[in-house]
Structure 1
Amino acid sequence: MKKYRKILSLLLVFLMAFSLSSCKKQDGKSNISSDISVSNKEVKKENDKNKGIIKIDKKRPKKFDEKSKDEIINIKAGGDLMAHMDQVDYARNYGNGKYDFSNQFEYVKDFLKDSDLTIGNFETSVSKTREPSGYPQFTTPKEYIRDIKDAGFDMLSTANNHSVDSFEEGIFDTIDAMDEYGIAHAGTRKPGEDRFIYRNVKGLKVSFMSYTYGVNGLDSLVTENKPEDVINYLEPEKIKADIKEAKKNKADLIIVYPHWGVEYQSYPTDDQIKLGRDMIDWGADLVIGNHPHVTQPAERYKSKDGKEGYIAYSCGNFIACQSYDVLGDIRTEQSVLYDINILRNNKTGKIKLGDVKIHPIWNGHMRDENGYLAKDFMIEDFLEGGKYYDKVNETQRERIRKCDEMIIKTVNTKVE
């Protein structure tokens, strides 16, 4: 028995030695240990960069660019999410006394959800004590934020001219509601909080910033704090400093949402163009503007250091009750959802701007048993061959065709 045990032990030693030697390169270094070492370094580097950063994970499978084979991180960026009283009243009736805004987003939610990050501009306010109200000072039930989140939005800009509509406490009530429903936000903040945020999106450290030209002269309603301590204003030097700080903190992607320009003007002002390009020169990657309530041109812009960024000067109303029938201007029914691919090189980890597609949106309006409904229609789905072609009548379809032509022409207008 001892003899057999001795033979068995020698055999095991021989097999172990053979196994270890077969794992070595010609230089004597182990393939396995080398691969593990590199892998651990990469994981540690990513973990260190994103340490403490909240992760946005929509469980979307990895996708790769057909030509470069780089990984695609998809971002969808949209415009103003308004809440006029007709929308609020409709939501209450549609929900049988409980606010339900989901019908607004029925035709776009699947597309909004099919991204790694979807962003919009929340252009109203929430209050725990005030009754709902519409123009000129918007106060909206917090369920609106819930349904915006359920529609597929992950991140919202909160710095705009309606940030203080529900007074100072409304700034904080809005923040609390967004936190409650798990939606990221930047632009307004509680005292002592950071001016902008970071999120981990598919391993990218994304920095999101938001700024407004003003708050409709309601700064005096901020009484317990200085307005600039809870609202980000559109001040170039502060924006430049924020971008510099984000770069210092190794942000991979910097997204800026400025609230700027002139309402109902389809071409950006000289100040918009200069500041938009300056922000790319300072290090921002995407600049997605809003406020005019109509669409404006967009451009790929190469910075002074050769990096390419993207500027959308105004996305228009993503959802609102500013219809042609009310205002006599069909442009307020038009919006753009930008479908932006960011490419990450699998070997170097470096990122660059990939394809950008525009998806025209018709903000349609109609009456039914619940009241006056504002509803988003992604135009490609309602034209010939679209999956919802039969959901609209010919009068609506003609309006949709007209909007499609106008949006494409406006967005593709060259910015001088």
Structure 2
Amino acid sequence: MTFAGDIMAHSVNFTMKDYNRIYSDVGTFLHSDDLTFGNLETPITDILPCSTYPRFNVHHSYLHAAIDGGFDVFSLANNHSNDQDNAGIYGTLNAINSLPSYIYANGLRIKVEDSITPVVIKKKGWTIVFLAITEILNSHDPSAQLVYYSPPTTSGRNALIQRIEEITAEYPNAFFVLALHTNEPEYVRTVSNSKREWCIRLAHSGVDVVWAHHPHVMQSWEVCEVAGKNRLFMYSMGNFISGQRYTANIENPEADREYTGDAVLLRVQVEKAPNTGTLDTFVVTPIPITNYRDPDHGMVVKLHTDTFIESLPKKLRNYYYKRLELMEEYLPILP
């Protein structure tokens, strides 16, 4: 499996002539796994114009390019889920429901009375339970009731724990992946103790992987033993693609905003212990990526390698080398 960050859609992204260019450099890698997970941080409806922050919207072609680029599983629960009210939510659900059965998504519901329900993925003898939850919404109008929203309060979190325990009881041998759009400040690269404690509590309730997002910058990840099993916590996967670093700050690559353009793809191999069926090990391999403003095609995702950097003009070479160095300083990128 591969886990990525936020698939954003600022104006510089959705005005591109060819969305497939976004994925040209990473598509082969994304297609080489069993499942690739991405957080789709925009509604999808063709009946409304594409729009940028603060109320996003894209058309079907933007989603199709992500799928062609290698994404198989989408989290739809985030603070922009209901940017376009009911029209955006129903449009997104219609777009997802029109896709082949091997594409999966979670985080929205058709009716208010529908319970929070995971999608179940069958892959190579595995049963994967995937649930997408957001702890933050930008709008609490009636359309918010169609989003898988869990209030970040004591009662709200207790209710989520109870629902996860119910799901775990229903699928006792499944591998549980939780997409969590966290209630925390954006652009913060450190992991709070309260966030770690919340992830541990989620693991005790049955979650094997917490795949978190919202800060738009990378935070670290770790494998922890909880209740006799290894669990993977990805505290924030940053941005996969966005327009937040459309103009690179060449003079000050250490500026906080520059971190919105760098992330990793986290390739995760899960191995079961022989005979027992319990989880034994996670093999986690980070692949650095970066957003690059291609002069011919617009914002694209590049593998953040020496080969890519050496292809650039000198000023950009220095910038991207420094960006990679800064990412390596606080993330476990190197072996």
For normalisation by structure 2, the TM-score amounts to: 0.88
d(CA) in 1 for partners of 2:48, 2:293: 27
d(CA) in 2 for partners of 1:265, 1:200: 35
- Cα deviation digits, residues 14-49 of structure 1 (max 9, x gap): xxxxxxxxxxxxxxxxxxxxxxxxxxxxxxxxxxxx
- Cα deviation digits, residues 271-312 of structure 1 (max 9, x gap): 322211211222211111111111112122221x22111111
**Alpha-carbon shift at residue 165 of structure 1 (Å):** 0.8
1:144 aligns with 2:62: yes
**Alpha-carbon shift at residue 189 of structure 1 (Å):** 1.7
Structure 1 residues 45-194: aligned runs within 5 Å: 75-90=1-16, 94=17, 100-182=18-100, 183-191=103-111, 192=114, 194=116
1:195 aligns with 2:121: no
Does the 8 Å CA contact 1:195/1:232 hold for their aligned counterparts? Answer: no
The corresponding residue for 2:150 is 233
- Cα deviation digits, residues 241-285 of structure 1 (max 9, x gap): 232123212242111111112101111234322211211222211
Does the 8 Å CA contact 1:336/1:407 hold for their aligned counterparts? Answer: no
The corresponding residue for 2:300 is 375
The equivalent position to 2:178 in structure 1, one of 246, 256, 281, is 256
Amino acid at match of 1:407: M
- Cα deviation digits, residues 57-85 of structure 1 (max 9, x gap): xxxxxxxxxxxxxxxxxx10010000001
Long gaps (5+) in structure 1: 1-74, 95-99
Q: Aligned with 1:110: secondary structure? A: helix
d(CA) in 2 for partners of 1:238, 1:204: 27
The equivalent position to 2:224 in structure 1, one of 276, 295, 301, is 301
Does the 8 Å CA contact 1:324/1:332 hold for their aligned counterparts? Answer: no
1:285 aligns with 2:208: yes
Task: Decide which moves more: 183-192 or 239-248.
Answer: 239-248
Does the 8 Å CA contact 1:264/1:292 hold for their aligned counterparts? Answer: yes
Q: Aligned with 1:129: secondary structure? A: coil
Q: Aligned with 1:144: secondary structure? A: helix
Amino acid at match of 1:236: R
The equivalent position to 2:259 in structure 1, one of 325, 328, 331, is 331
Change (3 A) 1:252 1:132: same
Identical amino acids, percent of aligned pairs: 26
d(CA) in 2 for partners of 1:194, 1:173: 19
**Alpha-carbon shift at residue 108 of structure 1 (Å):** 0.4
The corresponding residue for 2:141 is 220
1:344 aligns with 2:265: no
Larger Rg: 1
d(CA) in 2 for partners of 1:317, 1:280: 25
Question: Hey, which of these two has a bigger chunk of helix by percent?
Answer: 1
Q: Aligned with 1:362: secondary structure? A: strand
Does the 8 Å CA contact 1:207/1:254 hold for their aligned counterparts? Answer: yes
Long gaps (5+) in structure 2: 250-254
d(CA) in 2 for partners of 1:181, 1:397: 40
Change (3 A) 1:136 1:389: closer
Q: Aligned with 2:213: secondary structure? A: coil
Q: Aligned with 1:136: secondary structure? A: coil
Does the 8 Å CA contact 1:208/1:256 hold for their aligned counterparts? Answer: yes
d(CA) in 2 for partners of 1:343, 1:107: 28
d(CA) in 1 for partners of 2:180, 2:168: 19
The corresponding residue for 2:325 is 405
The corresponding residue for 1:41 is none
d(CA) in 2 for partners of 1:145, 1:393: 32
d(CA) in 2 for partners of 1:214, 1:150: 30
Does the 8 Å CA contact 2:246/2:299 hold for their aligned counterparts? Answer: no
Q: For the aligned residues, what is the CA RMSD?
A: 2.2
d(CA) in 1 for partners of 2:246, 2:56: 21
d(CA) in 1 for partners of 2:159, 2:146: 12
**Alpha-carbon shift at residue 326 of structure 1 (Å):** 6.8
Change (3 A) 1:168 1:231: farther
The corresponding residue for 2:191 is 268
Does the 8 Å CA contact 1:292/1:314 hold for their aligned counterparts? Answer: yes
Change (3 A) 1:309 1:142: same
Amino acid at match of 2:158: E
**Alpha-carbon shift at residue 197 of structure 1 (Å):** 1.2
Does the 8 Å CA contact 2:89/2:146 hold for their aligned counterparts? Answer: no
d(CA) in 2 for partners of 1:351, 1:269: 27
d(CA) in 2 for partners of 1:251, 1:159: 25
Does the 8 Å CA contact 1:321/1:365 hold for their aligned counterparts? Answer: no
d(CA) in 2 for partners of 1:393, 1:203: 48
d(CA) in 2 for partners of 1:151, 1:251: 31
**Alpha-carbon shift at residue 125 of structure 1 (Å):** 0.7
Number of equivalenced pairs? 317
**Alpha-carbon shift at residue 221 of structure 1 (Å):** 4.8
